[in-house]
Chain A
């Protein structure tokens, strides 16, 4: 939190310069993160609501919030939820990350 009470992510209304309207391509992993989020959201009862997705992102802290890209922030949040809910274990996640890195 800043001294004036504004939290870092709450940027609405601040000067931000021009809006860039041109389209850009998504990388394959970004599409996969989006798909994962949709699957978690549309399931009834859903594993994840948009508010919790945001809550986890807002809890990142200013430095990481700025450093991570849009879908990196989603990925962080989705991972938090899947571990907390017991859908995946940290061990499974760790093994998969090792596999991907190899």
Chain B
């Protein structure tokens, strides 16, 4: 496997995605508070080694597509009091996302 090898991107800008509802052990960069929630792909950031593997000093290859995903704050926190159109953008790796 070469260093440049990466998993093909499954999503594009504007796609609606749902974050997997999963609670695995280890180093997980997908915040707890967005799991199970639906957002929109704001951009494709590129492909990067899997941090869940890097955390154990393994190469994390093939690289995984990383996306910036936009969530509405009121979807994440039902009691959110600020502007209705406030958003949070979170960078999430592809294996945490499914089509919504």
Q: What is A's interface to B at a CB cutoff of 8 Å?
A: 1, 5-7, 10, 12-14, 49, 51-52, 54-55, 58, 84
Chain A facing B: main interface SS: loop
Chain B residues touching A, range: 10 to 19
A13-B77, A54-B27 as given contacts; A49 in contact with B54, CB under 8 Å: yes
Report the Cα distance A10→B77, complex, angstroms. Answer: 16
A7, A52, A58, A84: which contacts B54 (Cβ < 8 A)?
A: A52
Among B28, B29, B57, the most chain A Cβ lie within 10 Å of the Cβ of: B57
Of the candidates B31, B51, B76, the one whose C-beta lies within 8 Å of that of A10 is: B31
The CA-CA distance from A85 to B23 in the complex, in Å, is 29
7 nearest interchain CB pairs? A13-B33, A5-B23, A55-B55, A55-B27, A51-B54, A51-B55, A51-B51
- Identify which of residues 29-59 in chain B touch chain A, using a CB-to-CB cut-off of 8 Å: 29, 31-34, 51-52, 54-57
